[in-house]
A and B are shown apart, each in its own frame.
Chain A
């Protein structure tokens, strides 16, 4: 028997899969969030405009902020020393609004490679790198990175030699972490702004390396 409407099963005429509409009921926590937000607005504690501005501010944060910090550390040894001593203060010095974030920078060297994870939830230096990638919040990344980091890194395309020690940093409490990757070879003539273009999000999580110069 023919359907009255075209089927939304399978593949669209243009060749991509249909996605189901999100016609499911709200979860307990979604309902709670809406109720809390509406009450805060009704009682004048905050406004819809303030909430929208905060969402915009969060969306505006991106790995470019962290990349600028890394590039500064590559070009200014005194700044690098301050970054490794107190990464929150060094980031504020560059004008980044990192709020109450307690940031620790961990430095990659010839013999040490650092990688960041949060096994308990999804702690991430959002004020400096923006929202985390979805895989960072996955159970697979969170559980496997402390168990077999070299295997995880190989899946990201990063095959570390045996003479490099892997240090995994589990963000279990009040600190957040950023990896200070090694400056790529052949970049002596690059400006700080050009260097920042080489710094990828993953290189600051530790699941990648900076790009090689063009």
Chain B
């Protein structure tokens, strides 16, 4: 498998930096991860922003979740409904296709991100369109859609406020639900002043209104609206979009063409399943009972309707999903509804931040699925970026066993391509632990050796460098536990 990131020509100075390795493309993902993680964990300003934003999320989520009469049963059913959908994915997708096509929608199946990009570019070119309004789509990020559209000379505007901010900054979303969570209002004000020439302000409301004014004209002028989709309903042939701002509603209503792009795993059997999934997504994702707008779209403008697009295209993307489906152990990762809750509770995410992952999907779910979507050996380091605390598994509204999947990735990576020195190190350790005399001698010598530790401590020569570079090493006692126990006379 190719280790190099997908080659995409990125026009300089555009919002096209939405690439997985936007930091420094030639850098190896694992090296980039370590480098950025070191930097971010020491960045106290970053920590404060994330803690404060997530603090608000925790309070809101706990409040809304506690209103459920039985969150546990709701979770189990949501997991079972997705299990049913994913377990019969081919049948439900065909049903979805048949129903939505009958109402004048065009469905395109894309095996790879390239096929999806080419199709979308083709639709826009065929229509002679130029201006595109996008509402948030992570699948669009996954296929690097913006770069491809801008390369063709189309004008692309991200309408979701957070996405617009990161587009102006020419960086990838920080978090797949809260794209601009890493920025303070001051930084956003500076950004707007620089890019849009607006006056400085420290009011989030004024900043939001600036974006509103910019976007209003774009919605009306746009030829094409591009959105994602949170669910595809097989029974009725509809897609469902969840949002708060109303930007998706405008993007799918005003332009004459609407293109929705979504992963093949987004399907749900019945429309009424949404009675459970919509409130659960809102609660787990943002601590809301229901998000501002939940929209079901079952086709372009139908006969007798007042407005709406003349063309509606749905792109169903595989791009590695069938590989994940083929692993029964981790198949439930395809149940993910992208609420982002596992990121919000993850101690690793909170410390290293979203950009460090270098992936479209950050946090525990991203660490689980990225090696399947892309390539195991290049992305296996993400599965080690875990404390195995299990908070992700516990918080997941569809019960994906994320913490174990991280362990399974580690095991699979090592089975696939064993690391020679790790193998020898473990063998050596096993041998050493089976030598009681040597073990006792080492215990006796340890305090002595520690006296010389300051000579090398925290430097590259230090055998404990990985630990001591950022932490203190505990002082070794002269009296071992064994000695202490014997002295107490408890052995008899």
Asked if chains A and B come from one complex, the reply is no
Report which A residues bind B (CB closer than 8 A).
Answer: none
